[in-house]
Amino acid sequence: MKFAIIKERKSPPDKRVVFSPTMLLAFKEQYPQAEIVVESSDVRVFTDDEYRAVGFEVSNDVSDADVFIGVKEIPVDALVPNKKYVFFSHTIKKQQHNQKMLQAIIDLDISLFDHETITDSTNKRLIGFGRYAGIVGTYNCFRAFGLKYELFSLPKAEALQDQDALITRLKRMVLPPLKIVLTGRGKVGAGAKEMLDAMKIKEVSVQNFLTKIYDSPVYVQLDVLDYNKRKDGAMPHSYTDFFDNPQDYVSDFARFTNVADIFIAGHFHGNNAPDILTREMLKDKNCKLKVVADVSCDVGGPIACTVRSSCIKEPLYGYNPSTGEETDMHHPAAIVVMAVDNLPCELPRDASEGFGQMFLKHVIPAFYNNDKDGILKRSMIAEKGRLTERFKYLNDYIHENVPHV
């Protein structure tokens, strides 16, 4: 079996890669029978020479490989027929901009495995860049606060080498006694918590966060039952009640907006779950929020001030609570919004190293153990040009108004 580490062709360019030279070497050491070729790239954060230095072939033509491994979507004209591909296809929610790509995958008899659908037997995701989104998003939120109030000026995360460099910069800041609320306990929330802890910001309980006054920065990390309540006023028996019956709940997040200065949104928001931060909360005279770092970045989703996604080049914008519209971030009434939708791209070396570790641990073994744990089977969207049973709901999506290649 021959694996190709392919170049990223999406615009704007993505510097990340599934396997860094170090992790690709670990792959080869664990599976010496694997043939591996690296497609030449002038975009990737690791140079071609870094791969050559550890013994890998680098080529402009990798079409003889069996399995093509990348990060982001692939242009239709770059797809090779009758191959296996692994990348983030961004199709499972019927995203319109990738409709033609999935149709081409069907027409070209390609088998597609999606990073997003690589799960264990309980459907828990095994790989992703979420931790790095949390890391960079937290750095960006403090950068936004410094710029808004002209207290300090941090360089962009992309200008720094790694997570340690981000932490070093953050530690130099002198912060007022801010209250920071963090939602989510998954990979994104864990990455954000790493940064807050590295800054020596004190974690406090929900009760203390809501009622006490502090003379130094503090944060609270929330789970879904901390900011949602049942409409009937009853106490939920367990988290399962919320996940099974989200329509019976309403957001209780206003009690945090009335005391918090910064909101780092790192939650997962499921179907039919109530909106978290509503326009009414933002308009309320008691709302004290100054910065909202929407790491999850779901436009039109549960965070009302996320009116659009932003980009690495221009990561910040203002939100006017009175009008519900975007405004200059320096407007006196503006809440600063950070809603970059590709945050891990600002930390491409660290993100690539971490992603490769997960991919080598959870995915590569499935290619050599006859997929005994069903990793490949569950993640396969298309098999040799046909939608698999799990993803047949995409049938109308791929055929609707899409010309065949």
Q: Are 20 and 54 in contact, with CB atoms under 8 Å apart? A: no
Q: Residue 60: what are its φ and ψ, rounded to 5°?
A: -85, -15
Domain boundaries, the chain: 2-126+349-399, 129-341
pTM, full prediction:
0.88
At the top level of CATH, which class does the domain 2-126+349-399 belong to?
alpha beta
Could you identify the residue written with the tokens 């709302």?
Answer: 287
Residue 295 marked in a binding site: yes
Q: Residue 236: what are its φ and ψ, rounded to 5°?
A: -65, 145
Per-residue pLDDT tens, the chain, 405 aa: give them: 999 999 999 887 899 999 999 999 999 999 999 999 999 999 999 999 999 999 999 999 999 999 999 999 999 999 999 999 999 999 998 888 899 999 999 999 999 999 999 999 998 899 999 999 999 999 999 999 999 999 999 999 999 999 999 999 999 999 999 999 999 999 999 999 999 999 999 999 999 999 999 999 999 999 999 999 999 999 887 888 998 899 999 999 999 999 999 999 998 777 788 999 999 999 999 999 999 999 988 888 899 999 999 999 999 999 999 999 999 999 999 999 999 988 999 999 999 999 999 999 999 999 999 999 999 999 999 999 899 999 999 999 988 764 444
CA angle 117, 296, 213 (to 5 degrees): 140
- C-alpha 104 chain-centroid distance: 26
Strands (E), 70-201: 84-87, 111-114, 179-183
- Annotation marks residue 100 as catalytic: no
Helix (H) or strand (E) holding 190: helix 187-198
Which of 72, 179, 229, 269 does the annotation list as catalytic?
Answer: 72
**How much is the pLDDT for 260?**
98
| Cα separation, 87 vs 109, whole angstroms | 16
CATH code for the domain defined by 129-341: 3.40.50.720
Q: Are strands 202-203 and 218-222 parallel, antiparallel or unpaired?
A: parallel
User: Fold match between 2-126+349-399 and 129-341?
Assistant: yes
Q: To the nearest 10°, the Cα dihedral for 379, 311, 167, 42? A: 70
Residue 223 marked in a binding site: yes
Strands (E), 232-379: 249-251, 262-265, 291-294, 316-320, 325-327, 335-338
Q: Are 264 and 199 in contact, with CB atoms under 8 Å apart? A: no
Strands (E), 116-187: 179-183
**How much is the pLDDT for 302?**
93
Which of 90, 100, 148, 362 does the annotation list as catalytic?
Answer: 90
- Annotation marks residue 90 as catalytic: yes
Q: Are strands 2-5 and 35-39 parallel, antiparallel or unpaired?
A: parallel
Strands (E), 242-385: 249-251, 262-265, 291-294, 316-320, 325-327, 335-338, 380-383
